[in-house]
Amino acid sequence: MPVFYGTEIASALMLGTAQYPSPTVLAEAFRRSGAGVATVSVRREAGSGDTAQGQQFRALVEALGVALLPNTAGCHSVREAVTTAQMARELFGTNWIKLEVIGHADTLQPDPFGLVEAARLLTDEGFAVFPYCTEDLVLCERLLEAGCEVLMPWGAPIGTGLGLNNLYGLRSLRAQFPEVPLVVDAGLGLPSQAAQAMELGYDAVLLNTAVAKAGDPAAMAEAFAGAVAAGALAHRADPMPPRDMAEPSTPVLGKAFLT
C-alpha cells in the first residue's frame, strides 16, 4: 500500500468527489472501489455561498471514512493556490493539499514556475504538498527540492480519458526517482490504463471523471479497483521484458524429426 508523508493508505486508488449524479451514487462508488483517498475541491464546495450545502458535503466526504486530500483546483496563480490551501487547512483540519496551479486554460496544463513557487511557500508553512505536475524530470526535481515528498504527474489532460500519453516520460520518472511516491493524476479513462500505470511501478492513481461520468459510476469504480490491484501485482511479479524476435514457448528438444 502507498505511504504518503508517513501515512499508509489503504488502497492505491484515489478518487475525486466531483460530478457524481447524486451523493448516494458518490458514496456507493467509494464503497465499491475501496478507495483510500478522496480529493475535495475547496473552491467549488466552500465557495458556493450556501453554508448549509457546504456543511452537508463536508459531512458526506467525512463519512466516507477515507483520508481527505483537499485540492486547489481552478487556481491560476500562486496567490490563489496558497490562499485556497490555507482555507482548506481551516475547513478540513489537515495539512495535506493537492496543489494545482493551472497555466493553460485549454489543456489545464500546470504552470511549472508557479507550481514550484507555491510548493515552496506551502511546505515552509508546514503543508504536505501533493503537486499536480507534468512528467518533466527537471520540474519534478525542482518540486522535490521545494520540499514535496510526493509527485503527481498527469497521464493526459484532465477529463480527456486519453490514458498515458507519454509512456517514455512516465517510465523515466519512475526510474529517476525510485524511492519517491508517484501517483498518475488525471487523464485516465479506462481501468486498463490504470493497470498500465501500476505496471510501470507507480504507487497509486488518482481519477474522477472516468468514474463519475460513467453510466454506472459504482460499477466503474469497482472495475478501476480491480485493475489497480492487478497492475500492482503484475509489477511485483517482475513481468517479462518485450522482445523483437519470437521465442518458442515449447522447447525444441525432444521434438520428432522426419527423415
Say if 258 falls within a structural domain: no
Say if 253 falls within a structural domain: no
Domain span holding position 34? 3-237
Say if 254 falls within a structural domain: no
Q: What is the pLDDT of residue 223?
A: 97
Residue 159 is labelled as binding a ligand: yes
Q: What is the pLDDT of residue 52?
A: 63
Say if 85 falls within a structural domain: yes
Asked if 88 and 42 count as a contact pair (C-beta separation under 8 A), the reply is yes
Say if 248 falls within a structural domain: no
- Per-residue pLDDT 10s for the chain (259 aa) are 889 999 999 899 999 999 999 999 999 999 999 999 999 988 655 444 555 666 777 788 888 889 999 999 989 999 999 999 999 999 888 999 999 999 998 888 999 999 999 999 999 999 999 999 999 999 999 999 999 999 999 999 999 999 999 999 999 999 999 999 999 999 999 999 999 999 999 999 999 999 999 999 999 999 999 999 999 999 999 998 888 888 887 776 666 666 6
Q: What is the pLDDT of residue 234?
A: 96
Asked if 36 and 13 count as a contact pair (C-beta separation under 8 A), the reply is yes
Distance (Å, rounded) from C-alpha 58 to C-alpha 63? 8
Say if 149 falls within a structural domain: yes
CATH code, 36 = 3.20.20.70
Q: Which of 163, 159, 149, 156 is nearest to 194 (CA)?
A: 163
Distance (Å, rounded) from C-alpha 127 to C-alpha 37? 17
Distance (Å, rounded) from C-alpha 126 to C-alpha 82? 12
Say if 255 falls within a structural domain: no
Distance (Å, rounded) from C-alpha 177 to C-alpha 196? 18
Residue 65 is labelled as binding a ligand: no
Say if 242 falls within a structural domain: no
pTM summary value = 0.89
Q: Which of 53, 117, 125 is nearest to 85 (CA)?
A: 125
Residue 161 is labelled as binding a ligand: no
Cβ neighbours of 143 (radius 10 Å): 26
Note if 98 is an active site residue.
yes
Residue 186 is labelled as binding a ligand: yes
Q: Catalytic one among 32, 43, 89, 98?
A: 98
How many domains is the chain built from?
1
